[in-house]
Structure 1
Amino acid sequence: MEIWAHRGASARQPENTIAAFTAAMEAGADGVELDVQLTSDGVPVVIHDEKVDRTHDGTGWVSGFTLDQLQKLRSLLKPKADPMLTRIPTLAEVLDLLAAGSQRINIELKNSVKPYKGLEGKVLGLVHQRGLGARVVLSSFNHYSLQRLRERGWTGELAAVHDGMLREPWRYFRELDVQAVHPPRHVLMVPGFVTRAHRAGFLVRVWTVNKAVQRQRCLRLGVDGIFTDVMKPGPNW
């Protein structure tokens, strides 16, 4: 079972920052997961929430800030690190860092609240410029966005993120032309979910798995990967 660092090693460093991704690489993660949105001047940046209020010392929508304005905000999250390593990074900066490693890279397009016109093309351009297509998984809650990625020529792995108790969703996922599904861990309560997903040809990666009992259940059920904040588990993990 693969271990994917959720927003980087976010239990050790502020999420979705250079510090968190560096920590994930140092911890030996199999993959890293990150979220991408667009600034008001059209630059892809790595941040989860559509607003900056929870993570940084500002207020308002990510889409309301220019890149320069965003990168002047300071992280509110602990533990603390060099401000340059915990500011909101661009996707280009994060990909340049990760290119030096071997980890798989899950880029989640955060465009189910804000539509972010052109986000798909900009993400694909940055991935292709760095020759990272074989290592990248593109995912989104916005399944129209997954369709647009295919229409723009993406032949790599796509993953459908969902947060619900869907009944027999395999035909729908096939129509989406995805290779993986990324469900929340409560989906594991559905008897046979992982087995049926595998029979239908899909990988299953579950979010967010931070406790030993959750991880052990994922192992027993044959889950392909987990997204976790905890990259250096204790002896009972």
Structure 2
Amino acid sequence: MSLSLINERPLIWAHRGGRSLAPENTLAAVRKGKEAGADGWELDVQITRDGEIILLHDLNLLRSTNASVHPVFVDNPPAFPWRFTLAEIKQLSADIFPRRFCPPKYERKPWRAMPENLAEDLRIPTLATALELSRDLGMWVNVEIKDLSKAVPQSLAGNIVEKVFEVIRTQKMDDQVIVSSFNHDYVRECKQIAPHILTGALTEHNFEDDPVEVVRKAKADAWHPGYRCLTEDKVEAVRDAGFAINPYTVNEVEDMKRLTAWGVTGLVTDYPQNA
């Protein structure tokens, strides 16, 4: 797969694997995203107590897993992933749909301890497993490193960027990933570790600073803004400066059409099936 695709049309990035199609940040989601025609997917990574890199968006396990009723986690609050080992986290079910995405025929399961035979596709995966599957599917991966600088002890979070790159190298995915973060210190560290790997500087929807300067300061290759306050002038300025631009989370078809006309290089969406 080549980034030359961005010269023909925006790349479609399935947000958290395509979380309108399957539980977010699971292997089930990326399979569904691929079936829906996504070129790649966006995932979020954090660290466990024993230093393993896992997929998880929130800074705790409560919303997207059954941690609120699982005895290992109920008896040992709070349910922060960095307080538990990978083996403990693997006991959880990630088979949870957000209510706004819950398909009409999807049976919302009671939040209980995970059955022994739950498919691996519906557990919290490691980054290594996610990248291995992505390579097999021929998909790009946008690896977002969550900002753990204030939420996690430095003894764990201090080397998360290095650990993420160790996984990327081991899985031989250097040429199929973009590493991004809201923590631009992480983005700069990425370029120090592996200058050849693409990076993206994430910013919020209400971002008002000069995006070109922000991307340059972060030493990034792309700008990943919230789309709501995006303007055609900003898109043009970023593209003219030689950077890619992949706005998130673009779920309405009309917004997809408008941003495509403005020249964005990618669209991050919960609905790859509609892009």
TM-score relative to the length of structure 2: 0.80
Match for residue 3 of structure 1 among 12, 15, 18: 12
Give how far 1:76 is off: 5.0
Look up the match of 1:18: 27
Give how far 1:187 is off: 2.6
Q: Which runs of 5+ in 2 are unaligned?
A: 1-9, 69-78, 98-105, 110-117
**SS of corresponding position for 2:50:** coil
Q: Distance in 1 between matches of 2:120 and 2:95?
A: 13
The question of whether the paired residues in 2 share the 8 Å contact of 1:75 and 1:83 is answered with no
**SS of corresponding position for 1:94:** helix
Q: Distance in 2 between matches of 1:35 and 1:191?
A: 28
Look up the match of 1:226: 267
Superposed, 1:7-86 pairs within 5 Å as: 7-59=16-68, 60-75=79-94, 77-78=96-97, 79=106, 82-86=118-122
Query: Is 1:110 aligned with 2:184?
Result: no
The question of whether the paired residues in 2 share the 8 Å contact of 1:39 and 1:66 is answered with yes
CA shift digits 1:97-130 (9 cap, x unpaired):
1111221111000124535221111111111112
Query: 1:227 is matched by which residue type in structure 2?
Result: V
Give how far 1:222 is off: 1.3
Look up the match of 1:91: 127
Look up the match of 1:179: 221
Q: Distance in 2 between matches of 1:169 and 1:18?
A: 33
Query: 2:151 is matched by which residue type in structure 1?
Result: K
Query: 2:50 is matched by which residue type in structure 1?
Result: D
**SS of corresponding position for 1:174:** helix
Q: Distance in 2 between matches of 1:223 and 1:56?
A: 34
Query: 1:123 is matched by which residue type in structure 2?
Result: V
Q: Distance in 1 between matches of 2:187 and 2:31?
A: 28
**SS of corresponding position for 1:4:** strand
Q: Percent identity?
A: 31
Q: Distance in 2 between matches of 1:147 and 1:232?
A: 34
Query: 1:167 is matched by which residue type in structure 2?
Result: D
Q: Distance in 1 between matches of 2:272 and 2:215?
A: 30
Deviates more, 1:28-37 or 1:81-90: 81-90
Q: Distance in 2 between matches of 1:139 and 1:216?
A: 24
Query: CA, structure 1 residues 63+177, in 2 after alignment: closer, same or farther (shift >3 Å)?
Result: same
Q: Distance in 2 between matches of 1:122 and 1:184?
A: 27
Q: Larger Cα Rg: Structure 1 or Structure 2?
A: 2
**SS of corresponding position for 2:137:** coil
Look up the match of 1:149: 190
**SS of corresponding position for 1:98:** helix
Q: Distance in 1 between matches of 2:192 and 2:151?
A: 20
**SS of corresponding position for 2:142:** strand
